[in-house]
A = this chain, B = another copy of it.
Amino acid sequence: MKFKELLDECKIYEAGKPIELVVREYGVNEKDIIKLASNENPYGTSPKVVKKIQELSKNMFMYPDDSMYELKDSLSKKYGVLSDNVIIGAGSDQIIEFLIKAKCHVGSKILMAKTTFAMYEIYGKQEGATILRTPSNEHNLAEFEAMYKEHGADIIFLCLPNNPLGECLDKEDVYNFLAKVNKETLVIVDCAYMEYAAYKDSKKAINPSDLIERFPNAVYLGTFSKAYALGGMRVGYGIGQVGIIKTLYKVRPPFNITTLSLAAAIEALKDEEFVKKCIELNFVEMKRYEEYAKSRGFEYIESFTNFITMKFDNKFISSHVAQNLLERGVIIRDLTSYGLNAIRITIGREDQNTKVFKVLDEVLEQLKKEENL
């Protein structure tokens, strides 16, 4: 059976390894496993949301309100935009897919940082787009500008803050760059971790209402997967000018989030106190990772998210470190597939992080011996 030739070039996303796999493959007891690989909120879902879903679980046989009236209404009030400026996706991932599908064809150009969220390229290549990456791993707007001048682009991705590296541009710099971008170029500002960045440094905060008013070619992406602790429920959103959002509805499949996901997201927006607390704790624990890295002599990237990226330079091989941690029940993300000798660790709860430092020390000690480092 012949399929589209361009699929030969397409890669598959490498997900963080699930707990079930570590149980199956390494025989580690489920309760001993620490998963800090997918930037899930380690404090779990808000108890209020859990309670609501327990009440509503009998509704699983029913399709959700496909207009998503209430959720869009809540988001529009939160951000000071119209409901018609909002579209809901199965994670902000799906909004990325919609935008690329609506805008790109074979030969379209998509400009992004060298090391950024993998799905930009994956969805882009599915439409036959050419991927342009800046020379630097982290976002560098001078490089974006130079490449845009030279090659043009149908879509520009800015991941603010950036996954999987954690850095974040200042709003002022982003706006100065956007002012130089042609209005026919779609700029996707992926703010999946913005709640963390805005808390840490108000200069990073981007407000979607302000963004799309000033730059009608920009779309803001947000998600319930991180700070709102609903990663497993797959709810994200895009905010953009009405004309853009209307077009995205044409490629949105009906019922693209579940009945319980819709209810969970609506409920999560009512418990902002919980979100704030999670973010505060995140940065308390982040400090411990920074201190750990310094004390062991590892470089790390200052992070505006709920994860931290540690580089091993020529000290260790990140894939070996990750594999050894995995066999001991600690799941983190190796960044070898991004071309980096580094690991990305989600900032866990206090007890989890204490264990990570201990196990990581053991692993490094063992690797030193085995690899004569």
- Oligomer copy total: 2
Residue contact B234 to A61, C-beta cutoff 8 Å: no
A103 to B249, CA, bound (A): 23
Measured between beta carbons, the chain B residues less than 8 angstroms from A251 are 7, 10, 126
Interface residue A339 (Cβ < 8 Å from any Cβ of B): no
Q: What's the minimum C-beta distance from A295 to chain B, rounded to whole angstroms?
A: 30
A58 and B70 within 8 A (CB): no
Q: CB-CB < 8 A to A103: which residues of B?
A: 3-4
Q: Is the CB of A63 within 8 A of B102?
A: no
Instruction: Indicate whether A232 sits within 8 Å of B253 (C-beta atoms), given known contacts A40-B61, A44-B61.
Output: no
Contact status B57-A53, CB under 8 Å: yes
Closest B residue by C-beta to A255: B234
CB distance B60 to A50 under 8 Å?
A: yes
Are A66 and B18 in contact, with the CB atoms below 8 A? yes
| A105 CB, nearest partner CB in chain B, Å | 6
**In the assembled complex, how far is the CB of residue A199 from the closest CB belonging to chain B, in whole angstroms?**
19
Query: A7 — nearest CB in chain B belongs to which residue?
Result: B250
Considering only CB atoms and an 8 Å cut-off, how many residues of chain A contact the other chain?
A: 80
Interface residues of A in 169-211 (CB under 8 A from B): 183-184, 186
CB distance from A93 to the nearest CB of B (A): 6
Given A62-B40, A63-B38, A64-B232, decide whether A2 and B184 contact each other with a Cβ distance below 8 A.
yes
Asked if B231 and A61 sit within 8 Å, CB to CB, the answer is yes
Contact check, A232 vs B254: say whether CB atoms are below 8 A apart: no
B-facing residues in A95-116 (Cβ within 8 Å): 97, 101-105
CA distance A345 to B364 in the complex (A): 65
Partner of A233, one of B12, B60, B126, B231: B60
A4 and B255 contact, Cβ closer than 8 Å, known pairs A45-B61, A54-B54: no
Determine whether A308 belongs to the interface, using a CB cutoff of 8 Å to chain B.
no
- CB proximity of A245 to chain B, nearest CB, Å: 11
Hey, which chain B residues are within 8 Å of A7, CB to CB?
Answer: 102, 247, 250-251
CA distance A229 to B64 in the complex (A): 13
Pairwise interchain contact B232-A258, C-beta atoms closer than 8 A: yes
- A15 B57 Cβ-Cβ under 8 A: no
Contact A90:B256 (CB < 8 A) given known A3-B102, A4-B102, A62-B231: yes
Whether A232 contacts B63 in the complex (CB less than 8 A), given A249-B12, A255-B91, A256-B90, comes out as: yes
